[in-house]
A and B are shown apart, each in its own frame.
Chain A
Amino acid sequence: MKFGIMVNEGPYNHQSADSAYQFAKAAIEKGHEIHRVFFYHDGVNNATKLTEPPQDDRHIVNRWSKLAEEHGVDLVVCVAAGLRRGIVDENLAAGFRISGLGQLVESGIQADRMVVFGD
Chain B
Amino acid sequence: MTESTGGIDMDEDSSGTVKKFAFINRKAPYGTVYALESLEVVLISAAFDQDVSLMFIDDGVYQIKKGQGTKGIGMKNFSPTYRALEGYDIEKLYVEKESLEERGLTEADLLVDVEVLSRADMAALMEEQDVILSF
Contact = CB atoms under 8 A, between A and B. Distances in A.
Contact of B4 (A6, A101, A118): A101
A102 interface: yes
Contacts of A79: 3
Given A101-B4, A101-B5, A109 B41 contact: no
Interface residues of B, number: 28
Contact of B7 (A6, A40, A99, A104): A99
Nearest to B33: A41
Nearest to B17: A109
B13 to A, nearest CB: 8
Interface string B1-45: 011111110000101010101000000000001100100110011
Interface of A: 6, 8, 40-41, 76, 79-81, 99-106, 108-110, 114, 116, 118-119
Which 3 pairs, one residue from A and one from B, show the smallest C-beta to C-beta distance?
Answer: A102-B5, A102-B6, A100-B6
Interface string B64-88: 0000000000000000000000000
Nearest to B18: A109
Contact of A109 (B3, B19, B133): B19
A102 B8 contact: yes
B134 interface: yes
A104 B41 contact: yes
Nearest to B3: A100
A119 B130 CA distance: 21
B41 A105 contact: yes
Interface in B48-69: 48, 50
A8 B135 contact: yes
Interface in B98-135: 130-135
Nearest to B16: A109
A108 B21 contact: yes
Given A6-B133, A80-B4, A101-B6, 10 more contacts: A40-B37, A40-B41, A79-B3, A81-B37, A100-B5, A102-B48, A103-B8, A106-B13, A108-B130, A116-B132
A33 B34 CA distance: 28
